[in-house]
């Protein structure tokens, strides 16, 4: 096995620029369905990009060998010449605290034991716990030198009501964090029990709701993917985004914040070793800037947002870290509000137009101070109408996956019931 810096030195002698991405990852996990499944993973990988005369080549391997450079150079012949195919600039980023001392074998078992108490309250479908530690290193002939170790904990629970031939939809709850203290197991259990109880007795929605409120989880499931696609710099450049730069869409502010140290999607540097920082993409409804990696920032002729994502087996693309939503309006859950907690079918959305139609298997409304579960309703619209229809937020801000928000109260979406 060779040394990363030897690869770079050899590239220099060949007259090419090179960038080497490497990762060492360890994972431990436990899953419970009808049986228990334990898993342990160790992964190592290397991805090498080379640049010469406006062309780029790439090769990857699970072992860093002397011939990786030759393989990357041989692939450069398939590249089309492009003036924007140049290596990212020098970068030595400052580091966030993204690592906890975690036992990758014992912590999953501990969390599993605590969550199994739910069997006494609900029909437990599955519990999944993963704990990981990754060390990422990126170096280049241009002076990129970035390395850090990141940990992550991922917990998810699925449960429903099952009795006397009645089976409710599956309720899904999850939590993730870089640190053990960021996983509130008691909160997960309370949410599961409460929502299974609501879903146990559901009724058909009798009339069109006055407003719709998306919980933070539903907002993450629906808005997260659609917004992520819309603010992607490549999609903006190619005219495949439903949003137009500098145009206004309601009053929502959207920030991509890679500096949230508690989130497992945070990062000190992106997939090209560039220093990350908070970026406002929608400011009070105005689409102020897209997210980019180095290549697409050059195409768009704008400052790089340093939002490159990748694995060792891929070249950099563009991805969000942690989307934070803020709205100046203040709302509340009033009688007649339809609260959506889970959606299904977001993957069928039209990413270029922002049009969507999703089923809400877990939802409820408030009537006479009682919470009543609702049978599946279909919510449809498009990203523009959704953004412009948000009138305010209420409740505590929560982070689900890579999105953090309160309850989003909206008007103007289509509801089939």
Domain ranges of the chain: 4-195, 201-417
CB neighbour burial string for 221-255, b if at least 16 within 10 angstroms, e if fewer: bbbbbbbbbbbbbbbbeeeebbbeeeeebbbbbbb
Q: What is the pLDDT of residues 347-382, one digit of tens each?
A: 999 999 999 999 999 999 988 788 999 998 999 999
Mean pLDDT of 320-338: 93
Mean confidence (pLDDT) of the chain:
95
pLDDT recorded at residue 6? 92
Q: What is the pLDDT of residues 59-101, one digit of tens each?
A: 999 999 989 999 999 999 999 999 999 999 999 899 999 999 9
pLDDT recorded at residue 376? 83
Residue % of the chain over a pLDDT of 70: 100
pLDDT band at 1 (very low <50, low <70, confident <90, very high): low
**Distances in Å between the alpha carbon of 357 and those of 70, 161, 321, 349, 409?**
48, 26, 25, 7, 18
CB neighbour burial string for 185-213, b if at least 16 within 10 angstroms, e if fewer: eeebbebbbebbbbbbebeebeeebebbb
Q: Give the contacts of 321 (CB within 8 A, at least 6 positions apart).
A: 256, 257, 258, 260, 263, 265, 266, 267, 276, 307, 402
Say yes or no to pLDDT of 413 above 80.
Answer: yes
d(CA 402, CA 323): 6
Q: Which CATH number fits the domain 4-195, given the four candidates 3.40.50.970, 2.60.40.1250, 3.30.2290.10, 3.40.50.1000?
A: 3.30.2290.10
pLDDT band at 34 (very low <50, low <70, confident <90, very high): confident
pLDDT recorded at residue 172? 95
């Amino acid at each position: 096995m060779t040394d990363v810096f030897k690869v770079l030195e050899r590239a220099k002698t060949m007259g090419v620029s090179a960038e080497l991405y490497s990762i060492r990852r360890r994972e431990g996990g436990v899953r419970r369905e009808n049986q228990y499944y334990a898993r342990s993973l160790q992964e190592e990988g290397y991805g090498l990009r080379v640049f010469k005369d406006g062309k780029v080549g790439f090769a990857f391997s699970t072992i860093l060998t002397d011939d990786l450079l030759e393989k990357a150079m041989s692939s450069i012949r398939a590249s089309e010449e492009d003036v924007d195919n140049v290596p990212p600039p020098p970068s030595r980023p400052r580091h966030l605290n993204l690592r906890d001392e975690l036992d990758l074998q014992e912590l999953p078992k501990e969390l599993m034991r605590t969550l199994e108490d739910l069997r006494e309250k609900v029909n437990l479908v599955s519990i999944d716990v993963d704990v990981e530690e990754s060390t990422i290193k990126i170096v280049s002939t241009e002076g990129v030198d970035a390395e850090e170790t990141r940990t992550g904990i991922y917990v998810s629970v699925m449960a429903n009501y099952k009795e006397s031939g009645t089976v409710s939809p599956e309720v899904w709850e999850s939590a993730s964090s870089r640190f053990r203290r960021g996983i509130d197991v008691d909160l997960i259990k309370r949410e599961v029990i409460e929502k299974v109880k609501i879903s146990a007795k559901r009724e058909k929605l009798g009339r069109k709701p006055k407003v719709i409120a998306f919980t933070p989880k539903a907002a993450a499931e629906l808005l997260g993917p659609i917004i992520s696609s819309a603010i992607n710099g490549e999609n903006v450049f190619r005219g495949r985004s439903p949003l137009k730069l500098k145009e206004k869409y309601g009053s929502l502010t959207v920030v991509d914040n890679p500096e949230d140290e508690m989130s497992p999607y945070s990062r000190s540097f992106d997939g090209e070793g560039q220093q990350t920082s908070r970026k406002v993409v929608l400011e009070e409804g105005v689409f102020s800037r897209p997210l980019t990696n180095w290549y697409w920032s050059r195409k768009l002729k704008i400052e790089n947002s340093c939002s490159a994502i990748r694995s060792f087996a891929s070249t950099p693309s563009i991805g969000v870290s942690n989307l934070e939503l803020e709205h100046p309006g203040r709302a509340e859950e009033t009688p007649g509000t339809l609260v959506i907690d889970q959606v299904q079918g977001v993957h069928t959305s039209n990413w270029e137009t922002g049009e969507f139609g999703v089923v809400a298997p877990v939802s409820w409304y408030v009537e006479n101070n009682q919470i009543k579960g609702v049978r599946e309703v279909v919510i449809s619209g498009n990203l523009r109408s959704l953004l412009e229809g948000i009138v305010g937020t209420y409740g505590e801000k929560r982070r689900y996956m890579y999105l953090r928000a309160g309850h989003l109260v909206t008007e103007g979406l289509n509801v089939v019931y």
